[in-house]
Chains A and B, each alone.
Chain A
């Protein structure tokens, strides 16, 4: 302890340090727990079984491909909707909207992000799925399409919020300089502000996509949960089953320590690794941005 330091300061510093390190410890502990419960899968289930296309756990068919495919198709669909809509909204809020609209819009978008996904799922079952079925003349509205429309509603607030902050932190002088050179407002946004905020915007997109992959309740309620391989052109409008929904639906009654139990943890491990990858990509983008702004300032 530094002699000039007050005891309260010392305690506070210690508290902050402990909190900081505890996050790392928690992540590691969760990871090791997943490894311990998930890895026995590789001894109990053959690789060819895990890589097959049939998921029917009560008869020992543990093909993960339809689940992985379901998660991927739902995530891609949600990203295709959420990224442009989210970015345009962020640009509008940060660059175009008048002050008053902006002060009103941003909190509204953030409230949208706070709606519990089970409520979204409920709306999905009652309103979205039946209307999709009628409008598009599908056999059933419980489909990947309904899933990723709902999921884009989960991702958009994250993307808007983070991207808007990034755009907002681009120095005023950049825009003034561009406008002074005769650029139109659109040229300024597209050629100057967006590139300057690029890493922050990418971070927002990554975090949004990360939320989509991990989302469970809404997806479980509207996608129909049929473990079909999504390899056909019409897979977007057929039912799918995602990895998260599988864990949520089946964890309840699985016997502790059984093969099925281990496989569910294995799926959790796969999900964990995927979202870890996305988060690492997002934070490396964020750190890159910090370095660059430091360079500019120095």
Chain B
């Protein structure tokens, strides 16, 4: 009986707390505040959050809700009309455009930032530069020992992001298949698919056999970044904001936001603000590459 009353009391307390919690922000965001819903790429999610926070500081009447879930999820939500802005770490596919048009949505593309994919190895690894061809051979399983690349006699342990990651798809198309749409090369099946960027960093930091790839923003000083060359004659380039924007670093990609048709009103204001030096400074802070 005693425990029963206690339980009831707890329940009452909890329900009181939760309604109280909900009532407050509800009261704050009155009818005049308006919300921009932004969803998509996990690569972009931290950047999008940082932008949203800053923008909300500058214009308190605009609330921006940001969620991840992946590029595909964001674009699907745009097609279904549930978001104002979709983030994507890859370009929208032709079939997705068709789906969108069937739903009366015309996706409009904005490049909001760039991202370099850095090739990382263990700091003790003597290999300093690799060509795209060599990277493709490593990941497709043609090269299996660091000896063949001028390193020590060690088995190569290939690390990759999971197949649902936009970064994985980008790497497959632009490195493993070397940008050739007719090339049907695969990742070697013994490639380790790690669920997070942190997993790749941890294993590369520790394992002298490992090679991995990661967005520039995720690279820590504990791993060694390899210079990449388009072909054997070089030049071999380190990833950085400058080399990405000058087009010298070969494994870089644009990061996108998509709107439904030409944006207007608050969404247009927000997109315009993202292109300002102020917003692009945040891009650099988070380790991505600003577009200007």
Contact = CB atoms under 8 A, between A and B. Distances in A.
**Does B bind A?**
yes
Interface of A: 54, 56-59, 66, 125-126, 129-130, 133, 139-142, 220-221, 224-228, 238-239, 241, 248-250, 252-256
27 contacts: A58-B168, A58-B172, A59-B186, A125-B199, A126-B202, A129-B203, A139-B154, A139-B155, A139-B157, A140-B203, A140-B207, A141-B207, A224-B192, A224-B194, A225-B162, A225-B192, A225-B195, A226-B190, A226-B191, A227-B193, A228-B189, A241-B193, A253-B71, A253-B72, A253-B165, A255-B72, A255-B76
B272 interface: no
Nearest to B209: A139
Contacts of A130: 206-207
Interface residues on B, range: 20 to 34
A53 to B, nearest CB: 8
Contacts of A220: 195
B223 to A, nearest CB: 15
B86 interface: no
Most A CB within 10 A of own CB, among B70, B168, B192, B210: B192
B192 A252 contact: no
Most B CB within 10 A of own CB, among A129, A224, A253: A253
A202 B73 CA distance: 45
B contact patch SS: mixed
Contacts of A239: 190, 192
Nearest to A131: B206
Given A59-B186, A126-B202, A225-B192, 10 more contacts: A140-B203, A140-B209, A142-B192, A142-B203, A225-B193, A226-B191, A227-B189, A249-B162, A253-B70, A253-B73
Interface of B: 69-73, 76, 154-155, 157, 162-165, 168-169, 172, 186-187, 189-195, 199, 202-203, 206-207, 209-210
Contacts, number: 82
Nearest to B198: A125
Given A140-B157, A140-B192, A255-B72, A133 B186 contact: no
Contacts of B194: 142, 224-225
Most B CB within 10 A of own CB, among A139, A220, A241: A139
B204 to A, nearest CB: 11
Among all A-B residue pairs, the 5 with the closest Cβ atoms: A253-B70, A253-B164, A224-B192, A139-B155, A225-B193
A129 B163 CA distance: 23
Nearest to A223: B192
Contacts of B154: 139
